[in-house]
């Protein structure tokens, strides 16, 4: 045995000998050293370099994991000793066994720990203007490919490093192209005026709980395959902040994160901060700004690994920036000008360069990688222990049950598949069963909490109770850093039951779920067909029918649920409806009698989606939802709206969530950010301006509909507005503050915007306005109490009671529909999509009467002071 160990040690030493053949450096490949002022390698150069490095070094492996949204390679670069790479399947199997202690005895685990390697995943450049880490990644890999110091030999022998040079390659390329375009001009170093992810911009780091974007799913695929002990995530923060941040995290920490992980993250972050400081670098912050509450920006800690975040101060992309000491800022837990226990040596100000960021990141990377190597057995042992804690969980609920009977099969399938992407184990009941005194039908889903990633399931399925943390004893409440709620059953509109006590059921494992096909009941001699409008699928089907030039009505007469979809008999309709039922889980039933009464004749809405040159993530999320579901739209910019004549092109114009100042005024010459910040090019300055606002007013007066989302509603709803006023305007955030919580509103289902909704609906409220409605305006949804909180955190709920969350204001022949929240929030709030879609259909509808002789159609785009009133709505409310 001793001879065998000696042999492997010798083999490892030989394998780690200095490379015999020359290995290309980044400087040789790019023509400059990473971190050089005003020099950036783009994604094509980076991928070519990593491929070349892998061909020259047996310590490097290059793999394309998949394609990005725009079709670029999403890559992973695996770095370790050649012997480790040659046996990567063996180490993957060790990781798999340690990740699930149910399959591994303690004695087996000891042997696996002795044999295993610390797996460290390094993720760079998720936020594309935080460009430095995409450059640092090339330097990391080169130094490990060529180095032969004791530290590097230890890292290569004890670690397997999976380097992701960019989590957003499309954005990396976009930012480099933009930067190079304006290099040497007055606009050098300004951020792009478009989103740097095709759809979601900065929100790509808020996608770790719902996995909507392809890049998120590719990264999760890597994590699920490797089961890393540590994930090092490189970010940048504001230029006036600390030079670099590391954990410990500030409170609160999600109680679903294992305490052993929290202690380990604290220790590793603190050690890394110390080792960076030992190099003589200043401005190193630990314990500040960033809490550890939300799974939207963290995946690994719910999968039993450490997350180490660094946030480095930014330059102007790759251009140096001058920051005087007195211009440095402050954040939660620190002031960048004041020495404290967690920030002992402030940076003194001056010139800050891309190369400085790269240097700090290299120090942090090697400190973390070396720590992972030195304490290999501890990290593997703790990893196994955290898994043991998860599968032997005694506290909290026993399980969550998703009953078979659901109102929206597609949303239910999405919830189950979201959990499965996150490696959560789910069972489906083969027979009826009972739990906590309730009966559940066959087909119900069971998610036990005592499983390796039960904490991930729990944090997504339970109600969040964000703690009340005062700024100091007896002082005001400290405002949360980020959103405080993510309860997916509320956001998806899916019923999920928490079960406290153990039960038994006959079940089968679930891999993925597909929503069942719809049902189309065809019968001879029918007058038409009816579809309930109470799911998103029914509205997607309505869009599909209108795109196919099918004549469709929404019924509003007595005896039907308002908004019921009616398709009269017409040529070829049965074949179209049969195909529709296969695509969407909807129930299409025949109507043997002629349908009579009030109705809306619906056309396919001609949608204009406003794109500000101050990029709005909400605009991107809206496009994502439209593109995912085949909803046609046209993007319009300031100049398009200023031209006027909008009614010739559109029925409805959407103003996505954005600050009203950004919409009206856009970028200024300096954008108010100070003399060291570059200007935006002239063609992107200014917003809608008076001319654009006049064009929108004329559009509404001539029958168009304007739909405003969240803060964009403040363009029209100010404190002094006559009919729809924002009651929160001017209220201090010390008196009212909701940074991201789930609230309950009551909905008027007689209004076309409320068609198909339940009487009460959860909404996602994030820095939102709230309306006082008077005069000719009408409230569509409103708050019914001082405390409408369903999940998260609220301060000042009394300001909401009796006020409106959605308002409709008539303007000439048209209207403005103001949402005091984001109905399509981050592609998550399925339960309020229908309210948004209804607003779009409302814009292209005409009132008519079915079954009456000589009835003339009347436009519902209406007149000033007029609203569509639904006859008999009280009788059909909530059906």
**Residue in this structure with the two tokens 């999976």, named with its chain if needed:** 162
Cβ 783 vs Cβ 561: under 8 Å: no
Residue 4 pLDDT exceeds 60: no
Write down the pLDDT at residue 673. Answer: 43
Question: Rounded mean pLDDT of 351-357?
Answer: 98
Give the mean model confidence (pLDDT) for residues 758-774.
98
Section 423-451 average pLDDT = 98
CB 490 within 8 A of CB 788: no
Going by DSSP bridges, is the β-strand pair 244-246/284-286 parallel, antiparallel, or unpaired? parallel
Residue 868's pLDDT band, with cuts at 50, 70 and 90, is: low
Q: What are phi and psi of 553, to 5 degrees?
A: -125, 160
Q: Which residues contact 394 (CB under 8 A, 6 or more apart)?
A: none
Phi, psi at residue 439, to the nearest 5°? -95, 135
Using one digit for the tens of pLDDT, what is the confidence trace for 238-252?
Answer: 999 999 999 999 999
Regarding beta strands 814-819 and 705-709, do their DSSP bridges make them parallel or antiparallel, or are they unpaired? parallel
625-660 confidence digits (pLDDT tens): 999 999 999 999 999 999 999 999 999 999 999 999
Q: Of 187, 172, 188, nearest to 136 (Cα)?
A: 172
Residue 516 CA: distances (Å) to CA of 537, 581, 586, 628: 12, 10, 9, 19
Name which of 199, 198, 217 is nearest 209 in CA terms. Answer: 217
Phi and psi angles of residue 542, each rounded to the nearest 5 degrees, phi first? -65, -45
| Tokens read off for 380 | 């593997």
Contact in structure between 510 and 457 (CB atoms under 8 Å): no
Average pLDDT, the chain: 93
Work out the pLDDT band at 852, boundaries 50, 70, 90. Answer: very low
The length of the chain is 879
Structure tokens at 471: 């700024």
Question: 201: how many CB neighbours lie within 10 A of its CB?
Answer: 24
DSSP 367: H
CB 778 within 8 A of CB 762: no
User: Phi/psi zone of residue 184: left (φ > 0), alpha (ψ -120 to 50 degrees), beta?
Assistant: left
Per-residue pLDDT band at 854 (split at 50, 70, 90):
very low
Q: Residue 260's pLDDT band (boundaries 50, 70, 90)?
A: very high
Phi-psi region of 71 (alpha: psi -120 to 50; beta: other; left: phi over 0): left
Residue 18's pLDDT is 61
In this predicted model, what pLDDT tens digit does every residue of 707-763 receive, in sequence order?
A: 999 999 999 999 999 999 999 999 999 999 999 999 999 999 999 999 999 999 999
C-alpha of 309 from chain center: 18
- How many angstroms separate the CA atoms of 199 and 440, rounded? 40
What pLDDT score does 525 carry? 87
Q: Would you state the pLDDT for residue 471? A: 86
Give me the pLDDT at residue 76, please: 98
Consecutive H or E run containing 566: strand 564-568
Nearest to 332 by CA among 468, 473, 481, 484: 481
* Residue from 783, 815, 817 nearest 800 by CA: 783
Give the H or E element holding residue 764.
Answer: strand 760-765
Residue 535: C-alpha distances to residues 627, 679, 756 (Å): 19, 46, 7
* Least reliable range by pLDDT among 246-250, 565-569, 665-669, 820-824: 665-669
* Residues of the chain above pLDDT 70, percent: 94
Average pLDDT of span 505-529: 95
**Statement: residue 856 has pLDDT above 80:** no
Question: Which pLDDT belongs to residue 558?
Answer: 73
Q: In degrees rounded to 5, what are phi and psi of residue 567?
A: -115, 105
Helix axes 454-461, 409-421, angle to 10 degrees: 140
Whether the pLDDT of residue 874 is over 50: the answer is no
Decide: 774 and 688 in contact? Cβ < 8 Å.
Answer: no
Tell me the CA end-to-end span of the chain in Å, nearest whole number: 75
The Cα–Cα gap between 5 and 11 comes to: 10
Angle between helices 259-277 and 376-391 (to 10 degrees): 160
Asked whether 227 and 96 are in contact (CB, 8 A), the reply is yes
Q: How confident is the model at residue 21 (pLDDT cuts 50, 70, 90)?
A: confident
Q: How many degrees, rounded to 5, is the angle at CA 170 between CA 167 and CA 172?
A: 70
CB contact burial 616-647 (16+ within 10 A = b; e otherwise): bbbbbbbbbbbeeeebebeebebebbbeeebb
What was the pLDDT predicted at 14?
42
Token pair listed for 523: 């019968």
Average pLDDT over residues 302-313: 98
Q: Does the pLDDT of residue 11 top 80, yes or no?
A: no
What is the DSSP code string of 52-101?
HHHHH-TTEEEEEEEE-TTSPEEEEEEES-HHHHHTHHHHHHHHHHHH-G
- Give Cα separations from 624 to 53, 69, 516, 546 (angstroms): 36, 11, 24, 20
* E strand intervals along 379-510: 399-402, 427-429, 433-435, 438-440, 445-448, 497-499, 507-509
Q: Give the SS3 label for residue 374.
A: helix
Residue 636, helix vs strand vs coil:
strand
Structure tokens at 368: 């973390």
* HEC secondary structure over 112-152: HHHHCCEEEEEECCCCCCCCHHHHHHHHHHHHHHHCCCHHH
- Residue 479's pLDDT band (boundaries 50, 70, 90)? confident
**Smallest Cα–Cα separation from 155: which of 134, 167, 140?**
140
Six-digit token pair at 525? Answer: 């001699």
Share of the chain above pLDDT 90, in %: 90
- Going by C-alpha positions, the residue among 644, 551, 656 that lies closest to residue 611 is 656
CA distance 406 to 33: 58
pLDDT tens, position by position, 72-85? 999 999 999 999 99
Task: Check pLDDT > 60 for residue 64.
Answer: yes
Helix and strand counts by DSSP (H, E) for the chain? 24, 41
Please give the C-alpha separations between residue 732 and each of 424, 728, 736, in angstroms, as whole numbers: 42, 9, 6
Residue 828 has pLDDT above 90, yes or no: yes
Residue 504 CB partners (closer than 8 Å, separation 6+): 433
pLDDT for the residue 851: 82
Two tokens, residue 563: 């908004």
For the four alpha carbons of 50, 53, 55 and 58, in that order, the dihedral sign comes to: negative
Q: What are the angstrom distances between the C-alpha of 168 and each of 54, 198, 250, 419, 619?
A: 21, 9, 27, 23, 18
Predicted confidence (pLDDT) per residue in 266-305, tens digit: 999 999 999 999 999 999 999 999 999 999 999 999 999 9
Token code pair at residue 501: 């006590």
Q: What pLDDT shows up at residue 676? A: 63
Task: Tell me how crowded residue 235 is: count the other CB atoms within 10 A of its CB.
Answer: 21
Query: What are the residues whose beta carbons fall under 8 Å from the beta carbon of 93, sequence distance 6 or more?
Result: none
| Pure H helices in 234-291 | 259-277
φ, ψ of residue 285 to 5 degrees: the values are -110, 135
């Amino acid at each position: 045995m001793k001879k065998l160990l000696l042999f492997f040690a010798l083999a490892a030493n030989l394998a780690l000998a200095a490379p015999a053949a020359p290995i290309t450096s980044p400087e040789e490949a790019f023509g400059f050293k990473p971190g050089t002022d005003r020099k950036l390698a783009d994604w094509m150069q980076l991928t070519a370099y990593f491929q070349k490095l892998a061909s020259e070094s047996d310590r490097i492996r290059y793999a394309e994991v998949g394609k990005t949204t725009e079709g670029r390679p999403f890559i992973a670069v695996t770095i370790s000793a050649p012997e480790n790479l040659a046996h990567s399947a063996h180490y993957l199997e060790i990781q798999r066994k340690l990740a699930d202690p149910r399959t591994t005895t303690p004695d087996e685990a000891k042997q696996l720990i002795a044999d295993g390697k610390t797996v460290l995943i390094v993720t760079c450049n998720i936020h594309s203007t935080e460009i430095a880490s995409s450059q640092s990644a090339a330097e990391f890999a080169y130094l490990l490919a060529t180095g032969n110091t004791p530290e590097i030999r230890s890292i290569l022998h004890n670690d397997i490093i999976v380097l992701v040079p960019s989590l957003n390659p499309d954005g990396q390329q976009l930012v480099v192209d933009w930067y190079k375009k304006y290099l040497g001009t007055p606009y050098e170093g300004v951020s792009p005026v478009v989103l740097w992810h095709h759809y979601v911009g900065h929100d790509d780091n808020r996608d770790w709980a719902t996995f909507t974007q392809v890049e998120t799913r590719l990264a999760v695929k890597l994590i699920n395959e490797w089961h890393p002990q540590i994930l090092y995530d490189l970010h940048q923060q504001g230029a006036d902040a600390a030079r670099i941040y590391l954990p410990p995290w500030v409170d609160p920490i999600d109680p679903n994160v294992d305490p052993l992980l929290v202690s380990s993250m604290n220790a590793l972050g603190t050690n890394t901060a110390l080792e960076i400081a030992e190099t003589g670098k200043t401005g190193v912050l630990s314990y500040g700004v960033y809490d550890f509450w939300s799974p939207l920006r963290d995946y690994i800690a719910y999968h039993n690994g450490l997350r180490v975040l660094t946030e480095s101060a930014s330059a102007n992309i790759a251009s140096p920036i001058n920051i005087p000491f007195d211009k440095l800022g402050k954040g939660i837990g620190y002031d960048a000008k004041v020495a404290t226990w967690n920030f002992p040596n402030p940076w003194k100000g001056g010139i800050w360069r891309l190369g400085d960021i790269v240097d700090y990141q290299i120090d942090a990377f090697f400190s973390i990688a070396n720590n992972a190597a030195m304490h290999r057995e501890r990290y593997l042992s703790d990893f196994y222990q955290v898994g043991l804690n998860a599968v032997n969980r005694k506290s909290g609920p026993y399980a969550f049950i998703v009953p078979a009977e659901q109102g929206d099969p597609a949303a239910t399938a999405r919830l189950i598949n979201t959990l499965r992407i996150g490696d959560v184990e789910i069972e489906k009941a083969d027979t009826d069963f009972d739990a906590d005194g309730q009966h559940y039908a066959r087909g119900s889903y069971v998610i036990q909490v005592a499983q390796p990633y039960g904490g991930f399931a729990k944090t997504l399925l339970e109600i969040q109770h964000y703690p009340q943390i005062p700024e100091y004893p007896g002082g005001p409440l400290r405002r949360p850093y980020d959103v405080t709620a993510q309860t997916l059953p509320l956001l998806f509109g899916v019923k999920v039951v928490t079960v406290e006590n153990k039960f038994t059921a006959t079940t089968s494992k679930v891999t993925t779920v597909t929503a069942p096909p719809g049902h189309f009941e065809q019968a001879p001699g029918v007058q038409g067909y009816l579809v309930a409008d109470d799911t998103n699928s029914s509205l997607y089907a309505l869009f599909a029918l209108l795109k196919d030039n099918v004549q469709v009505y929404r019924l509003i007469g007595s005896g039907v649920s308002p908004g019921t979809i009616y398709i009269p008999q017409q040529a070829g309709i049965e074949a179209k409806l049969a195909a529709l039922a296969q695509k969407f889980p909807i129930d299409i039933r025949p109507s043997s009698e002629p349908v009579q009464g009030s109705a809306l004749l619906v056309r396919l809405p001609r949608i204009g989606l406003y794109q500000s040159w101050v990029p709005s993530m909400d605009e991107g999320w809206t496009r994502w939802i439209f593109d995912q579901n085949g909803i046609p739209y046209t993007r319009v910019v300031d100049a398009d709206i200023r031209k006027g004549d909008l009614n010739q092109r559109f029925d409805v114009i959407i103003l996505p969530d954005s600050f009203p100042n950004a919409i009206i005024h856009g970028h200024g010459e300096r954008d108010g950010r100070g003399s060291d910040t570059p200007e935006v090019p002239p063609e992107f300055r200014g917003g809608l301006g008076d001319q654009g606002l006049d064009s929108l007013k004329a559009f509404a007066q001539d029958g168009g509909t304007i739909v405003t989302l969240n803060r964009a509603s403040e363009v029209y709803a100010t404190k002094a507005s006559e009919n729809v006023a924002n009651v929160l305007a001017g209220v201090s955030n010390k008196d009212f503050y909701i940074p991201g919580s789930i609230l309950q509103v009551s909905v008027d289902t007689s209004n076309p915007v409320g068609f198909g909704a339940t009487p009460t609906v959860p909404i996602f409220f994030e820095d939102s306005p709230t309306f006082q409605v008077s005069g000719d305006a009408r409230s569509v949804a409103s708050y019914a109490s001082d405390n409408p909180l369903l999940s998260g955190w609220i301060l000042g709920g009394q300001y909401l009671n009796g006020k409106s969350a959605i308002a409709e204001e008539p303007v000439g022949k048209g209207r403005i529909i103001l949402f005091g929240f984001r109905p399509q929030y981050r592609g998550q709030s399925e339960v309020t999509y229908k309210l948004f879609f209804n607003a779009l259909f409302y814009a292209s509808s005409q009132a008519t009467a079915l079954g009456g002789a000589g009835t003339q159609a009347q436009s519902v785009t209406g007149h000033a002071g007029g609203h569509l009133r639904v006859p008999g709505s009280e009788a059909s409310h909530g059906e």
